[in-house]
Amino acid sequence: MLSGCGDNPPVVYPTVAPFDATQLTLGPGDKIELTIFYGSQESKTTYSLDASGQMEVRFIGPVAAGGKTSRQVQEEIRDRLADGYLNDPVVSLTVVEINSLKCAVFGQVLKSGSIKFTPGMTITEAIAQSGGFTPLARKNMVRVTRLVDGKKETYKLPVEMMGEGKRPNFPMMPGDEVFVPERPW
Distance (Å, whole) CA 115 – CA 103: 5
**Residue range 1-34, pLDDT digits in tens:** 344 455 766 667 777 776 666 778 999 999 999 9
**Residues comprising the chain, all counted:** 185
Q: Are 4 and 159 in contact (CB under 8 A)?
A: no
Domains of the chain by start residue, with CATH? 21-97 (3.30.1950.10), 102-180 (3.10.560.10)
Q: Which amino acid is at 57?
A: V
Q: For 17-153, where are the alpha helices, taking DSSP H only?
A: 70-82, 123-129
Let me know the angle formed at the C-alpha of 70 by 30 and 51, rounded to the nearest 5 degrees: 30
Distance (Å, whole) CA 79 – CA 99: 27
In 3D space, the residue among 4, 5, 7, 1 whose CA is nearest the CA of residue 158 turns out to be 7
Q: Are 105 and 180 in contact (CB under 8 A)?
A: yes
What sign does the dihedral 120-124-130-131 (CA atoms) show?
A: negative
Query: What is the block-wise mean pLDDT of the chain (185 residues), using blocks of 10 residues?
Result: 54 70 86 93 94 93 95 96 89 92 96 92 96 96 92 94 92 94 88
What's the predicted TM-score (pTM) here? 0.74
Q: What is the structure's pLDDT at 16?
A: 72
In 3D space, the residue among 162, 178, 160 whose CA is nearest the CA of residue 111 turns out to be 178
Q: Are 30 and 49 in contact (CB under 8 A)?
A: yes
Q: Are 121 and 112 in contact (CB under 8 A)?
A: no
